[in-house]
Amino acid sequence: MSIRLLFLSACLLFIPIQAEAHKIHVFAWVAGDTVTVESSFSGNKPLLHGKIIVKDNTSGAVLLQGIGNTKGIFTFIVPPEARAKKADLLIVVTGSDGHQSEWLVPATEYLLEDSSQVAEQHADTISNAELQLMIKKIVEQELAPIKRRLAENRQDKPDLRDIMAGIGFLLGIAGLVIWMRNRKAKGAATDD
């Protein structure tokens, strides 16, 4: 009985670890008209030749498909129909074993005006405050994917304290099972 319980507990304990090990992490960023998609498993192991589907997030219409390279990278130009509809792009990445993950690229990331053209058009009429605002927008635009990537990569990995707490928990359960078994055995012995 106790061996079965211990085996079942161990199986249940390792199920979440198995699921996290095969989770696909996706990150996409926009540079000009180009979107770069990076996909990997836990531990930054690249997803080899993952299938990438780019959809219109509102309608679900498939805009383009492709296969990632051996480094887990796939690059594409924003489709003209997405640009015309100002559609958010839903990027769906699927691994060969069926695992899937998604990333949303808002239209605002690829529809921004080219700031150099704006600066050239108004170079002689730009005030200091307007210039500061333009620079701030450009910096925010460039840093947004980096901030998002940092936030998503904060994977809390177990440290020594967590591992020791888990071992202590398992030993506590085992001690409880042994105590209950001994209690039943003493109760049966006093009944005779």
Picking from 94, 92, 91, the residue whose alpha carbon sits closest to that of residue 48 is: 94
The 10 Å Cβ neighbour count of residue 144 is 15
Burial class (CB in 10 A: 0-12, 13-18, 19+), 153: exposed
Q: Cβ distance 59 to 37 under 8 Å?
A: no
The 10 Å Cβ neighbour count of residue 117 is 9
The residue that leads in pLDDT, 12 or 90, is: 90
Q: Which residue bears the tokens 């840093």?
A: 143
pLDDT given for residue 10 in this prediction: 63
pLDDT given for residue 91 in this prediction: 96
Q: Residue range 170-174: average pLDDT?
A: 91
pLDDT digits (tens, 9 = 90+) for 23-57: 888 888 888 788 999 998 877 788 999 999 999 99
pLDDT digits (tens, 9 = 90+) for 99-139: 899 999 999 888 875 444 555 555 567 788 888 888 887 88
Beta strands 100-105 and 45-46, pairing class: unpaired
Report the share of the chain in percent with pLDDT over 70. 73
Q: What is the CATH number of domain 23-111?
A: 2.60.40.1930
Strand partners, 34: 31, 77
Q: Which two tokens stand for residue 96?
A: 């060969």
Q: Residue range 86-101: average pLDDT?
A: 91
Q: Cβ distance 64 to 80 under 8 Å?
A: no
The residue that leads in pLDDT, 118 or 146, is: 146
